[in-house]
Homo-oligomer: A and B are copies of this chain.
Amino acid sequence: MKPRIEFYFDFSSPYSYVAANLIEGIADKHRATLAWRPVLLGVAFKASGQRPLVEIPVKGDYSRRDFERTARFHGLAFRYPTTFPISTVNTARAVLWLQAQGSAKTATFIRRAMRAYYVEDRAINDPATIAELASELGIDAAAVSAGIQDGAIKDKLKADVDEAIARGVFGAPFIFVDGEPFWGHDRLPQVERWLATGPF
C-alpha cells in the first residue's frame, strides 16, 4: 500500500509556505499519497496555550529573520507581509470547497494563494482576493465565492480543525506519515527517511 502523507498547514505560516513548495516533490519521489489539510493555527494555539511566534519577545525578532533566510535557503521569494499573522478562515474554506468539487487545481490554488500573501503582500483572506486568484487559475469565481459561504463547508472546516487538535496538531506545517507526527518544515528530512525506510 502507498504511504500516506497528511499535510496540515495554515496560510498564515511562513514555514507552511516553504513546506507547501516541497511536499509534492517528496510525495512523488516516494510514491506517497498526499492530502492537503488546511487548519487554523489560532484555534490550535488556544488549545495548547500558545501565541503567535512573532509576538514572543526576542524569539519573534529572530523568527522574522529566520522566515526570510529559510525562504532564501530553499530558493523561494519572500517578503514579510504588511499584516501578519492573519485569519485565514476564508482561504481555508476555499480549499475545502475545491476539494469537495474534486478539483485538480487544489494544490495549485494553495501555492498561488501563498505566493499572493508572501510575495505579493495581498489580503488573501479577503473574498475578493480569493475570487481573483480563482479566476486567474480558471476556477469559477462566483462558485468559489458562494462555496466559502456554504454552511456545509463552514462545518467541515470546524470539524477538521477540531479533529486536527484532537490528533495533536499544535503548529504548522504538521505532517503525518502513516500516522507518525512531524512538526515543522525542518522535519522534512525525517519525513523523507520515514518514507524511504519505514519507521526508524
Interface residues of chain A, those whose CB is within 8 Å of chain B, are 47-50, 56-59, 61-62, 65-66, 69-70, 72-73, 165, 168, 170-171, 181, 183-184, 186-187, 189-190, 193, 200
Contact = CB atoms under 8 A, between A and B. Distances in A.
A70 B183 contact: no
A73 B189 CA distance: 9
Contact of A56 (B48, B181, B187, B193): B48
A168 to B, nearest CB: 6
B62 A57 contact: no
B69 A58 contact: no
Contact of A59 (B66, B170, B189): B170
A171 B165 CA distance: 26
Contacts of A171: 59
B69 A190 contact: yes
Given A62-B181, A184-B186, A186-B187, 8 more contacts: A47-B57, A49-B56, A58-B165, A59-B170, A61-B168, A66-B183, A69-B200, A186-B186
Nearest to A57: B48
A53 B167 CA distance: 19
Contact of A70 (B66, B170, B181, B190): B190
B181 A58 contact: no
Contacts of A184: 186
A65 B184 CA distance: 14
B200 A73 contact: yes
Contact of A168 (B58, B165, B190): B58
A90 to B, nearest CB: 26
Nearest to A190: B73
A69 B182 CA distance: 10
